[in-house]
Structure 1
Amino acid sequence: MHCSKPIYKHVYQDDDMSHPETEAIYKVLEGLIQRIELEGFTPVTGLVLMDVFEEEKEENLNGHSGKLALAHGLLKTSPRTDIRVSKNLRICHDYHCWIKLVSRVLGRVIIVRDRIHFHRFEDGLCSCGDYW
């Protein structure tokens, strides 16, 4: 007998509010952001090119489509399940650093496929060796 794992698909955009479970997804994301900040993470805003205050840059990074996808994955999977995220753009520095820490704090394997590479995050490390 072959058992298949459920696949949850949704195409996210930054600050996306279109998913039917938006409220729950954002609640998971907010809790995760707070937990990761307690671990010492600060958003990597250096490459945000908008001419806005630092707090706005951080808010924009917090609504990142990849972070929403990860929150959705956490909401829908059991604690030991790998989470897979596909991106149509290259992974950014902030997201890469954030996911590394999330993988360590939650003890989860997170696999992110961007348009060029696969990144396998586990225990705070990435398979790319931080060279992407």
Structure 2
Amino acid sequence: MKVFMKSMEMKLDSAVWGSLLGACRLYRRVELREYVAKHLFELEPENARSYVLLSNIYAGAGRWDDMARIRTSRLNDMGIKKVPGSTSIQVDNVVHEFLVSDKSHPLSKEIYKMLEEINRRLYTAGFVPDTSEVLYDIDEEWKEVAFSHHSEKLAIAFSLISTKAGTTIRIVKNLCVSGNCHSARKLISKIFNREIIARDGNRFDHFRDASCPCNVNWW
């Protein structure tokens, strides 16, 4: 792969290197990560997303010390801050925003009750989250808990308790969606018979009856 990239006549920009870095995680090509990351950091030394993506790759490989090094020596020491993930949804002309494990909403009790129902029905349907996407060196049970409280699932839970059956759910996330959440949304659309239209940092998705027309791999 390195030989192929060096032989290319065109100059690779940050978009190409960023896609390659994402692919290193998707296809578990850990050996290429630092080579690709080095070129990406040279082009965009202050792009926090690139450093976070590299730390994700280390986390997926169980290399927690390397992940911590990226988070401290690169992000913290350079003063680069990762924007917290949030998901917004509009119901009755009011915009509601959720963060991970958010309990600030007035209907928080009802939202978490619905969230438990969502997770129960996902489990019954055979959904198993990829816990390598969770970036902390904690046991598998707590990784699953961390995933179950993602901001987009809280927003969807709120929509399910706040709108009529069959109403289309429209959510907006400020960052790129993870593969786990993309897969969960597909199943949720079928389980609850809801269309889900989602926008994230890169694109739109339209989930209906456990399918999404994007037909792409996510990371």
SS at match of 2:181: helix
Aligned length, in residue pairs: 128
- 1:80 corresponding residue in structure 2: 166
**TM-score, normalisation: structure 2:** 0.56
- Is 2:149 the partner of 1:63? yes
Question: Which structure: greater helix fraction?
Answer: 2
5+ residue gaps, structure 1: none
| Structure 1 residues 39-84: Cα deviation after superposition (integer angstroms, max 9, x where no partner) | 1011121221210000111000011000000000101111111001
Distance 2:147 2:204 in 1: 21
Q: Please give the residue correspondences for 1:33-72 in structure 2 after superposition, counting only pairs within 5 Å.
A: 33-72=119-158
| Structure 1 residues 8-28: Cα deviation after superposition (integer angstroms, max 9, x where no partner) | 421111000100000000001
Moved more, 122-131 or 47-56: 122-131
- Is 2:105 the partner of 1:19? yes
Q: What percent identity do the matched residue pairs reach?
A: 40
Moved more, 99-108 or 20-29: 99-108
Distance 2:217 2:94 in 1: 29
Moved more, 17-26 or 43-52: 43-52
**TM-superposed deviation, 1:124:** 0.4
Distance 1:110 1:7 in 2: 18
Distance 2:216 2:127 in 1: 16
Say whether the 8 Å CA contact 1:82–1:108 is kept in structure 2.
yes
**TM-superposed deviation, 1:32:** 1.1
Write out the 4+ residue segments of structure 1 that deviate beyond 3 Å after TM superposition: none
**TM-score, normalisation: structure 1:** 0.92
Say whether the 8 Å CA contact 1:8–1:73 is kept in structure 2.
no
RMSD: 1.3
**TM-superposed deviation, 1:6:** 2.3
Q: Which amino acid aligns with 1:60?
A: A
Distance 1:127 1:78 in 2: 25
Q: Which has the higher contact order (CA 8 A, sep 6+)?
A: 1
